[in-house]
Amino acid sequence: MPAAMRALIILLFLSCLYTPITATILHTGHGQRYGDIASAAKVAVPGDTILVHKGTYRGDQSLQGLQGVSGKWIYIIAEKRGAVLFEGGTTAWRGTDIAYLHIEGFVFTGQTDNGINIDDGGTYASPAHHIVLQHCIFRDMAATGNNDLLKLSGVDELTIQQCTFLNGSSGGSGIDMVGCHNSLILQCRFENMGTNAVQMKGGSSDIRIEACIFKNAGSRAINLGGSTGQAFFRPANATWEAAALKVYSNIFIGSEVPVAFVGCTRSEVVNNTIYKPGRWVIRILQENRDTVHFGKCSNNTFRNNIIYIDDKVRAVCSIGPGTAPETFIFSNNAWFHMINSDWPGPLLPVAEKGGLIGKDPLFGNAEKDDFTIGINSPVGAAGFPVQHPEKDHTGKRYRPARSMGAFEIKQ
């Protein structure tokens, strides 16, 4: 054998010796090697997949310290979407200091504290991070207090996509985020929530909520900010409850108030469709009254939205003390009262530019939750030319002369 060929064979042999072992599928569940998520999580290494077979399992599972690495995530996957239930327990899963995890296809139901709890273990400098929750269902909290279907404390780089949140606790949230950053909530559905569908507070920033549906989604469907004790802020030196939050291309049906700006700043609500809210359209509040550390709720934007109201609305905009509503921007919103044709329009804290009052947006079929608009709609091409959102509720790109609301014109 020629020396060159022999050298090549040796190199190939050595490369095989030092190639990492192929990622493992950890079969988990009834009759499997690993009886539950917690036992599989103790042995999983970066690149592994925990495959949970069909069935109903108890709650109170721990993912303590489970971490993949960049390029080698750990996947926790239901064998069949919607056919793996974690029922009961204080919390279905608790994940402290977890990272690079993709979780998909599960149902979490009937917990008495929180559905899933993900946190940084109180070590604020080392958040849980790079987590994806996809095609999961969170439903039927077995509690009535401040209990959340999904509780997140100190979590960064999070994506929640195509998940459903149903029947939350009357005093809790669908998703409650404390000190979370650089995250995305996309194409999710929230129905029959308690206090909130989504709340972002405690120093949360750079979170985008896009193309979601909020139906009867609580007292405040989206709470942009809130009230947090100083010890729980991430970062500790934050001077606002929340900042740089983006609410894009969503549909809001009902709720006492769809959008509440609460101690937040530099946040924007753009190209949404709001249909028959219960008491107000917007609230501007300052619930954390520590004026030594925190600035006023200020410098937020409400633009390119369609607001369709009836006689239930007591006022369009409710303003609380300690806020700076004069710093807000209102522009190019369409306001329509379905009953009162003589309605003069909204009373806002600042003059609106480009607003449209008293023009029926001509929804496709609002009674069947179809809020698409046709070429004859007066809201078509009436929006302010913004860069974001790029896409409407269905994923269709907005035109340069964009429509108001969550949908671009359907042709």
Interval 261-296: pLDDT, tens: 999 999 999 999 999 999 999 999 999 888 778 899
- pLDDT score, position 3: 46
178 to 223, 224, 393: CA distances (angstroms) = 12, 11, 27
Q: Are 77 and 101 in contact, with CB atoms under 8 Å apart?
A: no
- pLDDT score, position 410: 83
Look at residue 5 and tell me whether its pLDDT is greater than 90: no
- pLDDT score, position 293: 82
CA distance 277 to 55: 39
Q: Are 40 and 65 in contact, with CB atoms under 8 Å apart?
A: no
- Strand, coil or helix: 41: helix
CA distance 259 to 134: 25
Domain covering 20-373, topology: Pectate Lyase C-like (2.160.20)
- pLDDT score, position 30: 97
Look at residue 11 and tell me whether its pLDDT is greater than 50: no
Look at residue 4 and tell me whether its pLDDT is greater than 90: no
- pLDDT score, position 132: 98
pLDDT in tens, 318-351: 999 999 999 999 999 999 999 999 999 999 999 9
Question: Token pair of 381, please?
Answer: 């091409």
Look at residue 383 and tell me whether its pLDDT is greater than 60: yes
